[in-house]
Structure 1
């Protein structure tokens, strides 16, 4: 990475310490913005098209017509990576509604604020190393996942208060907060999707509930089915997870991360977790490094 970190802000590459947005920006005032967390592997954005489609779905939910083409957005991402001499990186692409009059009601005319932020991450794929220090220590928390009827879970927005409150409950040694819905059924982590294995079958909470349809989640589902691993999406109680043979979390940064304990009870990874982690690495290797 170059000595002077540069971010992309509204079409310009600027030094990180000069990368600012207005205090009147609706993304700052209200969390009125969409974003995607991306991984660059070997200079290639993994699953770019899928991320772009989800970003557009979020903008549609927000009624945010930003007016930028897919090529324009991709160019800003690529320019930011190049300016920082990064091939393997965390990338965050954000689009807010920009500055508007100080009213809660959004205006139809949008001058969007677009920011690309990058930071280095280790190489991925078959020769890569996990970005995490070890398997995840997980706690179930009292904070409930916001129901779809209030805020659609499929919208990936700047408003992360739900996850922040969940993480604020964690003890100092825990890595992730596991949330339930209003009926007490398992949903997901504050920033991750949940998986567990019981009697050889892979289970994950269904997106019929208030669950973000993670892109890593979709990739793992596809890999499991291709490998002939039985998969079930459903509604589960916390006790179902405690009875699991193995369990793990997924998100774009962690990829596949085993759960070592849940509320102090050991679970751990296992052969299915290891197989899916290897298959995921192979997919990244084939897509980005070859």
Structure 2
């Protein structure tokens, strides 16, 4: 599937669309965004994504025309039809509304993680902003070390999340995920997995990683992706029973929506 985009309501091939080079969304990464997965042309949990977009924009004091943005999303979805893919909506500081529909990233059945030290920017708590350079660098550094993706940990050794995904883990037979109080993103997929599985928010320290029985990443584009190893240490089960159950429960919810 070729990427198609809308900029302020004008639709065309994504690689041909333009915004001004003076837009602070480009110059400073100043803006907000959401990504939803498309199933036969329908974005899953779209209302939740829109509500988070509104909160993100309010938190960074970014005013925009929500009605226009949603109308432009609808127009682009009508153009692309019943496709499976990813829908991305960006609002820039320069006032541009950008909507992109494209294919999903290619993902392996399971993923390996490498821990990367990271200090969350607290002023951006509860904001899904365009300022993702640190996250992308963490992914690159992890790949340089032989892992598929980064697992972000604080300088004090608390495990957080992956650069674009929530992290879930099984310890003593129970499913957990790091708490929002540790300044991680309030992921929509994380919320659904918590509700469906009864997982609990629990602090995890780096020295406990060797004790994990299972782990997985959860995000809009990944759904549930098993983790096979962390820092070169294989996990006992990939996917384990709690991971498989979470993946099945989420898939059933998506199919029923």
Which SS does the other structure have where 1:54 is aligned? helix
Q: Does 1:174 align with 2:147?
A: yes
Partner of 1:269: 239
Give the superposed CA RMSD: 1.7
Cα-to-partner distance string for 1:91-125 (whole Å, 9 max, x where unaligned): 11000121xxxxxxxxxxxxx10001111349xxx
Say if 1:43 and 1:87, in contact at 8 Å, map to a contact too.
Answer: yes
1:248 aligns with 2:242: no
Change (3 A) 1:17 1:187: closer
Question: Is the deviation greater in 166-175 or in 274-283?
Answer: 166-175
What displacement does 1:87 show? Answer: 2.2
* Alpha-carbon displacement from aligned partner over 1:128-166 (angstroms, at most 9, x marks no partner): xxx522201100013x13241xx3232111101220221
Deviation at 1:285, TM superposition (A): 0.5
Whole-angstrom distance in 2 between the partners of 1:114 and 1:60: 16
Tell me which of 152, 159, 162 is aligned to 1:189: 162
The reply to whether residue 152 of structure 1 matches residue 152 of structure 2 is no
Q: What is the aligned partner in structure 2 of residue 204 from structure 1?
A: 177
Task: For 1:98-109, list aligned pairs within 5 A.
Answer: 98=94
> What's the counterpart of residue 49 of structure 2?
51
The aligned residue for residue 75 of structure 1 is 71
Conserved 8 A contact 1:33-1:97: yes
Q: Pick the aligned partner of 1:213 from 186, 190, 195.
A: 186
Task: Pick the aligned partner of 2:207 from 233, 239, 255.
Answer: 239
Would the aligned equivalents of 1:147 and 1:182 in 2 still touch at CA under 8 Å?
no
Dislocated runs of 4+, deviation >3 Å: none
Matched-pair contact (CA < 8 Å) for 1:146–1:162: no
SS of residue matched to 2:19: coil
| Higher relative helix content | 2
User: Structure 2, unaligned stretches of length 5 or more?
Assistant: none
Largest Rg, 1 or 2:
1
- 8 Å CA contact 1:6–1:83 kept in 2: the answer is no
Kept in 2, the 8 Å contact 1:138–1:178? The answer is yes
Matched, 1:118 2:101: yes
Over residues 49-108 of structure 1, what are the superposed CA-to-partner deviations in whole Å (9 max), with x where a residue is unaligned? Answer: 110111011101110111322xx333322322332334211111000121xxxxxxxxxx
Task: Tell me the distance in 2 between the aligned counterparts of 1:257 and 1:19.
Answer: 33
Q: 1:145–1:162: 8 Å Cα contact kept in structure 2? A: no
Maintained 8 Å contact 1:167/1:176: yes
Specify every segment of 5 or more residues in structure 1 that has no aligned partner in the other structure, as ranges. 99-111, 123-130, 226-230
Would you say the 8 A contact 2:8–2:72 is kept in 1?
Answer: no
The total of aligned residue pairs comes to: 254
For the Cα contact (< 8 Å) 1:145–1:210, is it kept in 2? no
TM-score (ref. length: structure 2):
0.93
Q: Residue 32 of structure 1: which of 26, 30, 33 is its match? A: 30
**Equivalence for 1:66:** 64
Query: 2:151, 2:163 within 8 Å by CA — same for their partners in 1?
Result: yes
